[in-house]
Chains A and B, each alone.
Chain A
Amino acid sequence: MSTFEYAPAPESRSIVDIAPSYGLFVNGEFVDGHGHSFKSISPSTEEVLAEIAEADETDVDLAVRAARRAHSRVWGRMPGKERAKYLFRIARIIQERGRELAVLESIDNGKPIKETRDVDVPIAAAHFFYYAGWADKLEYSGYGTESVGVAGQVIPWNFPLLMLSWKIAPALACGNTVVLKPAETTPLTALLFAEICQQADLPPGVVNIITGAGETGRALVSHPDVDKVAFTGSTEVGRSIARSVAGTSKRVTLELGGKAANIVFDDAPVDQAVEGIVNGIFFNQGHVCCAGSRLLVQESVADDVLDRLKRRMSTLRVGDPLDKNTDVGAINSAEQLAKIRELSAIGEDEGAERWAAPCELPEHGFWFPPTLFTGVTQAHRIAREEIFGPVLSVLTFRTPSEAIEKANNTPYGLSAGVWTDKGSRILKMAGALRAGVVWANTFNKFDPTSPFGGYKESGYGREGGRHGLAGYLKGEARR
């Protein structure tokens, strides 16, 4: 008898229409940039997808001016009830064009279609629905009703459309206008979102999308007429943004890196904990700022948990992001792959034991197998630095206080996970962990109603929920 091999089940690409080149979206129209252009490639095949305009200082200035005009003439004055209608419309169009967005995101980012279809796109739509609901209720927010003005927003490549919606939805709901720069490796869904803004008849200038790399981002956040800077990305870039806005009246929220502890106690529901560990670090190839990249497992169950984890990792399907059965897709860029390889090599050099799930990797594109390191200690670099890839560092602990101490012993503080059957222990751990989000018996759960953000070097400010309005309303101080 033969074996149960899943035949290829690729999602069709025919639903997306990628243009050979893209300009910038400024004042409601696609315009040519004044700078150079760059190529966006598919990380799973290295195929060139499109030429993308690189916005220079002139382009950034035009976009900020367009946003300023739209804020003072239209959007900032529009009653919240009217703004809500646009946001609801955008949310519905995201749902209607969900498959198109999901396929495009998978092609441009390399993440599996299963995730774009079931996570990125539905949650992106949910953010617009949620903040649409706030638009006419801001007087109950506790932060006043007055918008801040023009928001300069810079987002990363790991969840391109989702991070866009986290940034744009609350900004627009509060009456701000935005200039958003997507990451240079993943601009395509943001540009499709620009088209959605046109389709929704959003007034020109309310949303402007400018593409480019670090220089473009720098020009945007340091533009003198930007009132609010929102950034999600690396701690290093976050620091330089904080420096560049220091001494100005700009408001800043930063959502930066993480090295989250996923803590498994000996009374944990073990099979679900294993699922949670897998979801914590291999979801989105580990390109998740709140990834559970440090597994802290109680020593008395460590062997059992690791055996189960390795067995489970062996069933992960790595490959074509557009195949509906793919669990782990491509690493987003050659640069990121090099960084993951470098840190993994350092892990081995420092004496940790490396184990990778047996899987065949495609020939082209950027790939890294799901990997774990055992015998990791707090002193290892792979226990301290964010790898931002499918690499798990496994540490052990003996007592709850040791778990708390190790979990908190990091410059970061974005998220943490606790696995135990004991409710009282969950509450105690949640209080003791210095992390913005603590998940109990689950991991990587996102909801627009729940605030998200970090402690320490993981940044400041919250996105999502009522708290997510604070950065976009002037009455921030009144809580």
Chain B
Amino acid sequence: MTSTATPTTAAGNDWADVTASESSLRRFLHGLPGVDQVGAEQRAAGLGTRSIKTSAKAFAIDLAISMVDLTTLEGQDTRGKVRALAAKAVRPDPSDPTCPSVAALCVYPDMVATAKAALGTSGVRVASVATAFPSGRAAMDVKLADTREAVAAGADEIDMVIDRGAFLAGHYLQVFEEIAAVRAACARPDGQSAHLKVIMETGELQTYDNVRRVSWLAMMAGAHFIKTSTGKVQPAATLPVTLVMLEAVRDYREQTGRRVGVKPAGGIRSSKDAIKYLVMVNEVAGADWLVPEWFRFGASTLLNDLLMQRTRLATGRYSGPDYFTLD
């Protein structure tokens, strides 16, 4: 796309001249096209009226299950709890082998080894939050150590939090450098790198203009995924926020050729909501984002509702919550 509304750098996807100084980075981010709140919310609501039935619903539910990052991020987490959740992640519906596994199990860094051992070769990935999750209020070397430890313990994916205070204070370069440093800390000795998801905590950034700016900031700094929320702050994921992020990854790929994934997290509890997100991915970013590699749901209670709807579609009947495991 010949982009005039979105400034480009001569070097294409090399952002060196944009990120050379605080002022050039600010100029770039503030030069991104604005987001009209009313219009964005209207578009999100409009997509929410799509009617997804029968075969389309069955497809969407299985797809949504395969995109779940099954999450437990509690102070009360134990190894037993993580092992139980790992079993659920691999076989969400023990009575039905055709039910897909979820994408990943998301835990605190100290639980990574347990999760990794429990998941074995199932193909379900281990995601670990890091960088002083959820507030991000710690010294930089602590955040990096947190990340390295999780990677060393076998985490396939790192969900970092940004310093929202720095972003709101306009210290964009600081946020950029932090993300880039964490991305570097995701490197493994074998030359591979854990995938980095950048949690922007959009509930604290509040405006859609900020969401668009922080999305670009994270992508330029090397994020593999941009993620809405920690789940610890309200509001967490919303459809309009996800809309703005999907527009950002779409435009970023148009401009650089590199694809970035999107993960709404927190507050998505029903299959109906999940399907609205999938419709939005389909119509805003495009159908090729509709794979677990590029779109995830950060959720815990969503999975059982998906399973319940899945069983309903297969049998024509609703079964009670006791027919699905509580882990």
The answer on a CB contact under 8 Å between A269 and B282 is no
Residues of B within 8 A of A114 (CB): 49
Q: Which of B5, B53, B54 has the most CB of A within 10 A?
A: B5
Contacts from B to A (Cβ < 8 Å): 1-6, 33-36, 38-40, 42-43, 49-57, 59-60, 63, 247, 278, 282-283, 287, 290-291
Q: Give which listed residue, B1, B2, B39, B49, contacts A276 with CB less than 8 A.
A: B39
- CA of A9 to CA of B275, assembled, Å: 15
Q: Which of A341-394 contact B (CB under 8 A)?
A: none
The answer on a CB contact under 8 Å between B4 and A304 is yes
- CA of A269 to CA of B34, assembled, Å: 5
A323: nearest chain-B partner, CB-CB: B51
The answer on a CB contact under 8 Å between B63 and A4 is yes
Which 6 A-B residue pairings sit nearest by Cβ, starting from the closest? A272-B39, A9-B51, A324-B51, A269-B36, A272-B36, A7-B56
- CA of A301 to CA of B5, assembled, Å: 6
Q: Encode contact with B along A257-293: 1 for CB under 8 Å, 0 otherwise.
A: 0000000001111111001100000000000000000
Q: Which of A4, A315, A324, A421 has the most CB of B within 10 A?
A: A4
The answer on a CB contact under 8 Å between A442 and B4 is no
The answer on a CB contact under 8 Å between B40 and A304 is no
Residues of B within 8 A of A315 (CB): 283
Interface size on A, residues (CB 8 A): 33
B39: nearest chain-A partner, CB-CB: A272
The answer on a CB contact under 8 Å between B33 and A4 is no
The answer on a CB contact under 8 Å between B53 and A9 is yes
Residue A5 lies at the interface, judged by CB distance under 8 Å to chain B = yes
The answer on a CB contact under 8 Å between A307 and B2 is yes
- CA of A272 to CA of B34, assembled, Å: 9
Residues of B within 8 A of A266 (CB): 4-5
Given A7-B56, A114-B49, A269-B33, answer yes or no on A441-B3 (Cβ-Cβ < 8 Å): no
The answer on a CB contact under 8 Å between B38 and A6 is no
Given A269-B39, A272-B40, answer yes or no on A7-B54 (Cβ-Cβ < 8 Å): yes
Residues of B within 8 A of A405 (CB): none
10 residue pairs A–B, Cβ–Cβ below 8 Å: A8-B53, A114-B49, A268-B34, A270-B5, A271-B33, A272-B39, A275-B42, A307-B1, A325-B51, A421-B34
Q: Encode contact with B along A411-428: 1 for CB under 8 Å, 0 otherwise.
A: 000000000010000000
Q: A1-B291, A8-B53, A304-B2 are in contact. List 7 more A-B contacts (CB 8 A).
A: A118-B49, A268-B33, A271-B39, A272-B43, A304-B1, A304-B3, A442-B39
Given A1-B291, A6-B52, A7-B53, answer yes or no on A269-B35 (Cβ-Cβ < 8 Å): yes
Residue A248 lies at the interface, judged by CB distance under 8 Å to chain B = no
- CA of A5 to CA of B56, assembled, Å: 6
Q: Encode contact with B along A144-161: 1 for CB under 8 Å, 0 otherwise.
A: 000000000000000000
Q: Which of B33, B52, B278 has the most CB of A within 10 A?
A: B33
